[in-house]
Structure 1
Amino acid sequence: MSSDGAIVELSVVGYEFPVASDREAQDEYDANWLVIDGSVRTAEGRAWSWTEPSLLTSEARELTTWLRSAATTDGAVPIWDDARLTSWLADVESDTVEPWSSDGADESDGLLLFLEPNLGFSVAARAEAMVHLRVHFSLEALPEPPIGAAGGFPLYSFFVTLTLDPADLMAAVEQWERDLAPYPIKRIAP
């Protein structure tokens, strides 16, 4: 929970296609979609929830690494195969990631994005030993009806900022890792 009362809870419901041999799960993308249950309450008290396939198993693990990095201020760089992510995480840890502007841009080096554009994450700031983490919502993860203009929001422009003690963020990371444990990355034989 954020120091201002805002809450974002994400949990894994299961694979979208639980059995790797399901007709619909004919490739590794389809076999590895995770259904995420999300619940949000803003500091102002607006609440909503959704349950949608939102992350691949690899992306859920990427989020774990990213959140761990956002909570760490000692400059240690976690090991990750993706060079861009590793570089970006090093910048997060060294406090050189610029706050992300919420101008609705689809691409930004300051925003962690996923294949399904329901969620995104960015560091707004680090101040007074707290991490100000933005959780961005788009498409199915937006509240109904969308807050704001009748036309909705550009991707990733609606977000909730969580002000967290790094230890609390690490506790959330550890819970997320436990939630992911039953859902390994599936490999589909050709």
Structure 2
Amino acid sequence: MLLSDPVNRVELRPVRYQFPVARGAAYDDNWLVIAGTVATPEGAWSFADPCLLTDEARRIGVWLRAVAAGSVAVTGPDADGEWSPDVCFIEPVLALSLAERGDDGATVRLHLSLEAAPPSRPDAESPDVYQYFVAVRVATVDLLRAADAWDAELAAFPPR
């Protein structure tokens, strides 16, 4: 899945199960290692981390389609200036929120914490999750394309 605009680029893809052989533990058997590459004006980095369960990963495509359909509300920081994503997961490494909507697309925030945060950030290992994000302006057609690509990659990783 690729989301990019002239300023920022984020690519995410599932690469493998955390544990190659299912061990009969439904929870542990379904962790996916997600690889990411990020490029922003402040730098570029990559990461790979077992941060999504198979069912959680499927929520990303659903959310992208909902954004494209206009059924996700724009969110901002709370009264204390803290960000709370629309979609978050058990491991607080990745999350998503909607920054802005227009007639032809939307600006999506990809919240990158802990292992996915830029290594140059002094708070890269801080428990203050979701506060760093990359905002990417994406046309509606590209949101749908990203959702389709994400789902196609996930087809290789059914729940076990």
Residue aligning to 2:76: 100
Amino acid at match of 1:51: A
Distance 2:74 2:143 in 1: 20
In the alignment, which residue of structure 1 is the partner of 2:69? 72
Partner residue of 1:172 out of 139, 146, 151:
146
Moved over 4 A (4+): 149-153
In structure 1, runs of 5+ residues without a counterpart are 74-89
Q: TM-score normalised to the size of structure 1?
A: 0.75
- Aligned counterpart, 1:158: 132
Contact 2:114 2:125 in 1 (8 A): no
Residue of structure 1 equivalent to 2:34: 36
**Kept in 2: contact 1:100–1:111 (CA 8 A):** no
Residue 140 of structure 1 and its aligned partner are, at CA, apart by 0.6
C-alpha RMSD of the superposition: 2.1
Match in the other structure for 2:96: 121
- The alpha-carbon deviation at position 98 of structure 1 amounts to 3.7
Give the distance between the partners of 1:31 and 1:39, measured in 2 at CA.
25
Alpha-carbon offset, residue 136 of structure 1: 0.1
Does residue 116 of structure 2 align to residue 141 of structure 1? yes
Q: Distance in 2 between matches of 1:40 and 1:101?
A: 23
Q: Find the partner of 1:11 among 10, 13, 19.
A: 13
Q: Is the 8 A contact 1:104 1:153 kept in 2?
A: no
Identity %: 39
TM-score, length basis structure 2: 0.88
